[in-house]
């Protein structure tokens, strides 16, 4: 699923991830993992390289069960969220999701907006859990 329009929230924009974002996302994910113990990974664990992110973004953009959003400030990705659904009919009402924001941008409401946009997408796509 692709967010048709960017959603501007003052100083930042939320939009669908593009394959050209892969390098920034790979670097940002490692950085965020090292900034907090609130993530399920430690810095460098389960590393996703540029081709890996390109593959994820391509898959998500072609699937109506997935959503990959990025938060952008001054053309720099500072956070992202991803919702991943199941192809199994019995689990079509469920998704797994995560939200990540670089520590220097905590407190701007970016994570809350990523979550809100994900919930709106889920609601319009029959997701219950």
Instruction: Delimit the domains of the chain by residue range.
Output: 7-124
- Give backbone dihedrals phi and psi of 127, rounded to 5 degrees, phi first: -85, 130
Per-position pLDDT tens, the chain of length 129: 444 445 555 689 999 999 999 999 999 988 887 776 665 555 556 667 889 989 989 988 888 788 999 999 999 999 999 887 666 566 666 667 889 999 999 988 999 999 999 989 888 877 777
Under CATH, which number does the domain 7-124 receive?
3.40.630.30
| N- to C-terminal Cα separation, the chain | 18
Give the 3-state secondary structure of residue 25: helix
pLDDT of residue 57: 92
Dmax of the chain from CA atoms? 42
pLDDT of residue 69: 95
> What is the pTM (predicted TM-score) of this model?
0.81
Q: How far is CA 127 from CA 22, 66, 84, 98, in A?
A: 27, 11, 11, 15
| Contacts by 41-50, CB closer than 8 A, 24 or more apart | 50/22, 50/23, 50/26
């Amino acid at each position: 699923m692709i967010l048709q329009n960017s959603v501007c929230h003052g100083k930042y924009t939320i939009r669908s991830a593009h394959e050209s974002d892969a390098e920034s996302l790979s670097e940002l994910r490692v950085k965020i993992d090292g900034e907090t113990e609130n993530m399920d990974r430690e810095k460098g664990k389960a590393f996703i390289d540029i081709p890996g992110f390109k593959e994820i973004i391509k898959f998500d953009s072609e699937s109506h069960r997935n959503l990959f959003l990025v938060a952008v400030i001054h053309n720099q990705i500072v956070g992202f969220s991803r919702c991943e659904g199941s192809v199994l009919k019995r689990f079509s009402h469920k998704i797994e999701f995560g939200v990540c924001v670089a520590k220097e941008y905590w407190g701007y409401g970016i994570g809350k907006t990523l979550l809100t946009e994900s919930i709106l997408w889920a609601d319009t796509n029959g997701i219950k859990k």
